[in-house]
Amino acid sequence: MPTALLDTNIEAAALRLLRQGERAVLVTILASQGSTPRHAGTRALFTQEGLRGTVGGGVLEAKACLLAKQALQDGQSFWASFSFEPGQASDMVCGGSISVLCELLQPGQSELFAQAQAALQTGQTGLWVVRLHGLEQDKGFPDCVNEPVRVGVERKLSLGEHRQTPSLEQAGSLYLEPLLAQPVLFIAGAGHVSLELAKCAHACGFVIDVADDRADFANAERFFMARNCFVLPHFAGIREHCALNASSYVAIMTRGHAYDQEVLAQILRAPVRYVGMIGSRKKREHVYAALRAQGVSQEQLDAVHCPIGLDLKAETPQQIAVSIVAELLCSKNGVDSCNSLSAVN
């Protein structure tokens, strides 16, 4: 299994490298103004092999990579703020300013990142507190100097604190970033469409858990990107085995109506953020009628996305996966899926 697939987030990737005695550079966008490809909180990890992730591509990313490479060579963290005029840099940046920190991570910080990763795995909230030393106030963001500045970086983890968005504070010398777990997508059913959904959702930042009643379908060799593969006879015991919570996303895609109904009945008793079920409207009415007869309320059923996915007239497994992930992202980012396509144009 490729190493990158084992690292489900930046903290996990950094922890693995630091425990191996390697250094790395955490590239973080601290702030942005105007039209920029990515915004505050965007992170990527730079190693001797290059950049893992992206901070926006184009000229910005090229400059960030050069600065990160210098940080590795010099054993020093750097801060820089870049200004792009319309048409100056690339089609991606249409005039704006970005403040970037290239933070050298040392093996001695492995315990700090171990604490962060443990918190993420148990669903704890937290806050990264990053203090910068050596910045002159007249060179701080948003005044852009387009030249790197050597900085000292003091990184701490404050567990139990919670905030939604990252921010620069105290004249740019303090950066606060929420410690946020990646969203988890639980896929019930391990068929062809489920496999394509797992690939697409994983590429878009979801941690993947999958369940099926067939071991030759739900296994780590086939679902190489999945965190967990559960084999559950008759899809029983989902809530007991699969750790669903208020931040879970669920896609029901088994091989039959009866199994879909069984899974949905269990999921409706769990406090999940999103639940969708594949199938036609005729199937939906059949399943819903059976669940109403079991005492499930119409309000609960109205919260289910069925047919699952945005109406993109998708037909192939890959196209269906794209339509579902698009709807998942609408839910995750608080976008009205009815208006999401027009909002992009």
End residue of a domain, out of 131, 163, 179: 179
Order of strands, sheet of 274-277, starting from the edge strand that comes earlier in the sequence: 228-231, 207-212, 184-188, 248-252, 274-277
End residue of a domain, out of 179, 199, 231: 179
**Structurally, how many domains does the chain consist of?**
2
Q: Taking a C-beta distance cutoff of 8 angstroms, is the pair 95, 34 a contact? A: yes
Shared-domain flag, residues 170 and 293: no
Shared-domain flag, residues 166 and 273: no
What are 247-277's pLDDT values in tens digits?
899 999 999 999 999 999 999 999 899 999 9
203: phi > 0 → left, psi -120 to 50 → alpha, else beta; which? alpha
Question: Is pLDDT above 60 for 23?
Answer: yes
End residue of a domain, out of 115, 144, 179: 179
Shared-domain flag, residues 307 and 340: yes
Shared-domain flag, residues 193 and 263: yes
Q: Is the peptide bond before 166 cis (omega within 30 degrees of 0)?
A: no
Shared-domain flag, residues 114 and 210: no
Question: Is pLDDT above 70 for 29?
Answer: yes
Name the residue range of residue 26's domain.
Answer: 3-179
pLDDT value of residue 191: 96
Give the domain CATH number at 291: 3.40.50.720
Shared-domain flag, residues 191 and 145: no
Shared-domain flag, residues 305 and 271: yes
What are 124-157's pLDDT values in tens digits?
889 999 999 987 654 444 444 567 899 999 999 9
What are 50-96's pLDDT values in tens digits?
998 888 878 888 989 999 999 999 999 999 988 766 554 444 445 67
Question: Is pLDDT above 50 for 186?
Answer: yes
pLDDT value of residue 146: 61
Between 110-121 and 10-19, two packed helices, what is the crossing angle to 10 degrees?
140
